[in-house]
Amino acid sequence: MRVLSERSVSPGDKPIITLEGVTKRFPGVVANDAVNLEIRPSEVHVLLGENGAGKSTLIGMLSGLQQPDEGRILIDGEVRAITSPRNALALGIGTVFQHTMLVPTLTVAENLLLGAPWWQRPRKESLRTEVEALSKSLGMQVDLDAVASDLSLGEQQFVEIMRALLRNSRMVILDESTSMLTPSGIEELGALMRRLVERGLAIVFITHKLREAAAFGDRISVLKLGRKVGEITPERFQALHEDDLVTEIVDMMFGKRSDDPENGKRAGTTIAEDAKTVLAVDGVNLPATQTSPGLHNISFDVREGELLGIAGIDGNGQKQLAEVLAGQISGASGKIVLDGRNVESLSVGGRRDAGLRYLTDDRLGEGTVGTFPVSMNFLLKEVGKPPLWNKGFEKTSDIEKHAERLIAEYDVRTPRGHTPVGRLSGGNIQKVVLARELAEGARLVIFNKPTYGLDLANTLAIRQRILDIAAEGKGVLLISTDLEELLGLCDRIAVMAEGKLVGMVNNGENARTEIGRLMIGLEE
């Protein structure tokens, strides 16, 4: 019972950890932008935010895996650097990562013993007594002799929480711990968090689910695109009615802020009532797999000149939908009609020829061949065909001219036409893909997260291009996790959750709130 006896603190104590203006950059992305945060004992501090909001990076810095580029971290009021995971543990910070950090081939006991000085004999007996005492007081059982890979994800998580407690942590970080749990497992975790907090521990609970934040939290900080956009203090938390709380959080998560990048706004476009339907999708199903929720009875249509958005938290079947439409996944049922013609039985190439174009979110892996020159990447899908190939032999100068024309037209910033495409920045790679997919005969273009990870200038350029495509009378299906982007560009926005279309919203004044609520599952 070392945890309890060593520290019994009352709520409202001094913060254990204070982050002041912490910034972390990765190539091309600002993962955390001047984040301020205080973690106090006896409190469940919820970090709420969508994927890509910078939650994991923040955890990486607290657990010693990454170092901040700017700002400082104070521990017990003193400026300290958390230099390594070992250092973090010594400072009393225990982390339960989103993906299990147990060695699958070792037993639970051996996993708990990892970290002792290497010259020692493993102290299995004293571990057994400690674990027994701890599991009794927490009301959870754990089989020390079980091999870690035989445990369920919930059990593995409990072992990791126990590991943090055995290390005398005074702060435990739970990173997306509920994402792998069953509903009853989530309840148990919530009860466990309360018991830990009662012992004076600080809990940092990371989630993107609003319901859990409201149910388990004492204090909520909302992260959005790497910035902290709001905090709800325990006093306010208790004072607010649940509905008001939810409204306030939705507003923080999805609300518009003055410093969000501005789009070329789609000014009052109206799609004519009698506009022809370009794409009609009817009852598309795809079986769920271990990594994706599959697709369930998806139906919608896109008319000429219309921009239809697909909103939703990442990983809810958006990519599967795009790939089913493009013909890259087999095994789907349902009807896909392009310009009045059924295309379900056509191959990827056949659908492309019919005018259906797909711009993947995996620009460098799936969209281009990184080591090939820009000029060849423009033509990846036409290799060997006339007019740029003559009986199978390439016409080098024509290919170069073709590349020069597209480079100028799409403003691709590349040193030369035969620079390997992998050396360009993300925005320019996207322009290359765009130029290729918009060639001759495009009727409907599917974009999957087209501006993800791009800088502001390129983001705006790509968004303008998307608007132009629709203005030319083509249909556009825009999949994005960036709600601002969808609200700025689309005519209608469909919301996806767990492989279903849970709602269709006409873009307008209340669209933001409606979509926000649909996305986090408040309206079914």
The residue range among 98-106, 350-358, 374-382, 509-517 that interacts with another protein, by the rule CB under 8 A, is: 98-106
Helix ranges restricted to H, 392-425: 396-409
- The residue within the footprint of another protein, chosen from 1, 79, 81, 116 (CB under 8 A), is 116
Our CB check for another protein shows the closer of 63 and 481 to be: 63
- The residue within the footprint of another protein, chosen from 41, 49, 52, 60 (CB under 8 A), is 60
Our CB check for another protein shows the closer of 42 and 63 to be: 63
Please report how close the Cβ of residue 34 comes to another protein at its closest, in angstroms: 21
Please report how close the Cβ of residue 427 comes to another protein at its closest, in angstroms: 20
Indicate whether 105 belongs to the interface with another protein (CB under 8 A): yes
Angle, CA of 214, 215 and 219, to the nearest 5°: 50
* Paired tokens of 141: 């059982």
Q: 333: how many CB neighbours lie within 10 A of its CB?
A: 13
Indicate whether 85 belongs to the interface with another protein (CB under 8 A): yes
Helix, strand and coil content of the chain, in percent to the nearest 5, comes to 35, 25, 40
Size of interface with another protein, in residues (CB under 8 A): 31
Indicate whether 113 belongs to the interface with another protein (CB under 8 A): yes
- The residue within the footprint of another protein, chosen from 66, 368, 414, 507 (CB under 8 A), is 66
CA distance 17 to 41: 9
The residue range among 61-69, 198-206, 259-267, 509-517 that interacts with another protein, by the rule CB under 8 A, is: 61-69
- The residue within the footprint of another protein, chosen from 4, 9, 34, 65 (CB under 8 A), is 65
Indicate whether 315 belongs to the interface with another protein (CB under 8 A): no
Helix ranges restricted to H, 226-317: 234-239, 242-254
Q: Show the site string, 131-170: x = touches another protein by CB under 8 A, - = not.
A: --------------------------------x-------
- 16 CB contacts (<8 Å, ≥6 apart)? 39, 40, 41, 75, 76, 92, 170, 171, 202
**What burial letters (b/e) apply to 62-77, b meaning 16+ CB within 10 Å?**
bbbbbebeebebebee
How far are the Cα atoms of 68, 280, 478, 480 from residue 498, in angstroms, in the given order?
34, 21, 18, 15
Q: Is 290 exposed, middle or buried (0-12, 13-18, 19+ CB in 10 A)?
A: exposed
Indicate whether 386 belongs to the interface with another protein (CB under 8 A): no
How far are the Cα atoms of 133, 298, 339, 405, 491 from residue 483, in angstroms, in the given order?
48, 21, 29, 34, 13
Element (H, E) at 458: helix 456-471
Indicate whether 101 belongs to the interface with another protein (CB under 8 A): yes
The residue range among 95-103, 131-139, 416-424, 426-434 that interacts with another protein, by the rule CB under 8 A, is: 95-103
- The residue within the footprint of another protein, chosen from 110, 323, 437, 482 (CB under 8 A), is 110
Please report how close the Cβ of residue 228 comes to another protein at its closest, in angstroms: 21
Indicate whether 220 belongs to the interface with another protein (CB under 8 A): no
Please report how close the Cβ of residue 85 comes to another protein at its closest, in angstroms: 5
Indicate whether 365 belongs to the interface with another protein (CB under 8 A): no
- 98 CB contacts (<8 Å, ≥6 apart)? 56, 175, 176, 177, 179
- Give the binding site for another protein (CB under 8 A): 26, 60, 63, 65-66, 84-86, 89-90, 95, 97, 101-106, 110-111, 113-122, 163
